[in-house]
A = this chain, B = another copy of it.
Amino acid sequence: MANRSPFASKLGAFVALSDEEMTLLDRLHVRRKVFPAGRDMVHEGQKNPSAYILASGWVCSYKLLSGGTRQIVDFQIPGDFLGLRSVLFRTADHNIEPVTRVEASEVLATDLLETFSKTPRLATAVLWAASRDEAMVVEHLVGIGRRDAKERTAHFLLELGSRLKLVGLGSASGYACPLSQNLLADALGLSAVHVNRVLRELREEGLVTFQHGRVEIHDLDALVLLADFDQTYLDHDGPLLK
């Protein structure tokens, strides 16, 4: 496999793409931009927002509530596509904030449609990726609704590991993770204090360690059991693929 973008290699892992299609994909990365951590790239209500393909760094998608709290819907890591729904609606329905310094390629609606019309298989691949993201949101919803704090946290860390492994940024034993406990809390629907206690429990039980920007998985089997983690929603076969 050549030196592809994380995006192309992620899609390629699920839908067989020709070299030509891969090249077309990589050509989407023209308008490369850099965003500093902490300042929103897209904000709720923004008209005609752009979509992006994330090349490096992490971002989060979130919504603010009237009381000043926020809920993070998901994190995006290198290779992820973001803002597709907002482009379709011509209005952003959530905020997007870089968690770290981020490099991303802006994708205009017109470019995307043009690429799709040239190679319908790419349209299918992107639709597949969008569906996978939706499946992750659903699993997130299920976790917040029916898993307790410990199961939920364990599940989150496992899912993240699985996603990072796919783009070569982690292994079964651990990965680098730039998330603060505050961010974790806003994603998991918990208070930061409680996240801290849960992480301590997981650490003291010898399951996972999350310290100094690294997640170390010490007992994968026990963690999977605790979290009731079923990976199938992440690695479906490609859609309608020959």
Contacts and interface: CB of A to CB of B under 8 A. Distances in A.
Contacts of A233: 93
Nearest to A69: B146
A90 B134 contact: no
A27 to B, nearest CB: 22
Interface string A65-90: 11101110100000000000100111
Contact of A131 (B85, B128, B140, B147): B85
Interface in A117-153: 127-128, 131, 134-135, 137-142, 144-147
B146 A90 contact: no
Quickly give the copy total for this chain: 2
Contacts of A65: 142, 146-147, 228
Interface residues of A, number: 41
A36 interface: no
A239 interface: yes
20 contacts: A63-B138, A65-B142, A70-B146, A85-B134, A85-B135, A88-B128, A89-B131, A89-B135, A89-B236, A89-B239, A90-B236, A93-B138, A93-B233, A94-B138, A109-B240, A134-B134, A137-B138, A137-B141, A145-B189, A146-B189
